[in-house]
Amino acid sequence: FFFRFFLDLQPLPFLLVPNLVEMSMFHMPRLLAKKRDGFELTKEEIEGFVKGAVDKSVTGDQIGAMLMAMYLNGLTDDETVSLTNALKNSGEILNWDSLGEGKKVVVDKHSTGGVGDKISIPLAPALMACGCKVPMISGRGLGHTGGTLDKLESIPGFNVRIPPIKMVELVDQLNGCMVGQSDTLVPGDRILYATRDVTSTVTSQPLIVASIMSKKIAESPAALVLDVKSGSGAFMDTLEKAESLANALVHVGQALGIKTTALLTEMDCPIGLMVGNAMEVAESMDCMKGQGPPDVEELVCLLGGQLLYLTGIAVTKDEGYQKIRSALQDGSAMESFRTMMIAQGVSEKDAGLLCTDHWAVLPKANEKTDVLAESDGFVQMVHAMPVAIVAGDLGAGRKTQNDVIDPAVGIEFLVQRGDKLEKGQPWARIHHNTPVSEEQVKQLQAALDISQDASDFPSRLIKVIGEY
């Protein structure tokens, strides 16, 4: 219906465009026509639209029509900043005044999502151990990417449903927490996102930027680092798309007074050696013992080092990198995670045991099936997308929001890029609770590229955007 409504709006003469501060049903069609005809909306008009969407004075059809107009005509930088700010202000905003000087070291990180992306789990405790305050609000997995909340919930008793008032308490007492989004934070984004999903406007970059940044800025961080992934296993499958998104995210963050920087990172190959919820927690625990895969440790240290530099805890980014690395190796990150787990519902016994023998606590799959190399050579690449598809089909991911995941299943890699392989040697291991089909094994075999020449393990970092 809203498409007919959208098209039936009469052309709007430029001189008659009002500056709408107060919204009403009478004004909304004129505002829709203004955006439909390609004119720029003012800050007040965008605020009125979001306010009306939340209080229901703007109808669902009108929300859909406005989103389609934004999708077709785009948003200017100023409009994107205004929409982000309006969404942020649509609900509760976290306040850190009770921390005093501590509010200057409140930080967070956001990733655009990838395969095997468990970086938040060791990063948050490492930042806490280095003196940052980390109110990390994370999401669930959907499609081919995993979600931090699903991974954390594979730990028995871990509660991610923490209200904002409790978050402030945990950040004050422990330096951080890892939780899901509260219903009171950014309700406007939930309303707009639900409509974007059914009107095919999800892929609009300005709408993506406003959705991501409104939730992060509602946390009132002093500094924010963004991990924008590029490659076949990322939502942004080309470097050009990823860089455009990174620039837009950084611009909005900086325009709204947050020290914001973005790292463009490679997402052609899965991160680390584990893909699957409990399995990625296990690998995160290894990382917090200083024993994680090189690319996992690199990303944790790069992202954390940026935040330590932005908050002044480190004088240089290199110093920040080394501080985070030390926290992973000296046990202080692990201790921060242990205290966080207990504060968020995990028993002291399980929290302690997870730090020393994680498979005594985490759920394990009933069956394991090895995938064998079909030729000799060196591992050049393991393509992320086929791995994500197989892991999702096993039960590690969701196709819809209502799907139930199996936390125990996933894919384990027995080699990494640059390693030598012999024909018949196991290179991957499927952890499963349902039968594995020949087709799934073939999909994994097709994901492996073998070269006759050895190559070094490359850095994940492509570029830093928003240098300070």
The amino acid that residue 73 corresponds to is N
Of 140, 190, 196, 259, catalytic: 196
Of 90, 154, 211, 284, catalytic: 211
Q: Give the residue from 22, 235, 245 showing the smallest Cα distance to 143.
A: 235
Distance (Å, whole) CA 325 – CA 57: 51
Alpha helices per DSSP H over 185-331:
187-198, 205-217, 239-255, 277-287, 294-311, 317-329
The amino acid that residue 90 corresponds to is S
Decide: residue 197, CB within 10 A, 0-12 exposed, 13-18 middle, 19+ buried: exposed
Of 34, 35, 36, 110, catalytic: 110
Tokens in use for 310? 């932005």
Tokens in use for 210? 């406003």
Q: Give the residue from 266, 284, 244, 350 showing the smallest Cα distance to 124.
A: 284
The amino acid that residue 136 corresponds to is M
Mark whether 166 is an active-site residue. Answer: no
Q: Angle, to 10 degrees, between the axis of helix 60-73 and the axis of helix 187-198? A: 80
Q: What is the dihedral of CA 34, 253, 233, 238, to 10 degrees?
A: 60
Q: In the β-sheet with 426-432, what is the strand arrangement from edge to edge?
A: 274-275, 410-413, 426-432, 367-372
Mark whether 196 is an active-site residue. Answer: yes
Of 108, 117, 189, 406, catalytic: 189
Mark whether 429 is an active-site residue. Answer: no
Mark whether 211 is an active-site residue. Answer: yes
Of 215, 358, 432, 460, catalytic: 215
**Cα distances (angstroms) measured from residue 64 to each of 26, 70, 198, 214, 365:** 17, 10, 9, 20, 44
**Cα distances (angstroms) measured from residue 408 to each of 253, 280, 363:** 37, 10, 5
Mark whether 97 is an active-site residue. Answer: no
Distance (Å, whole) CA 164 – CA 177: 11
SS3 451: strand
Catalytic residues: 110, 189, 196, 211, 215
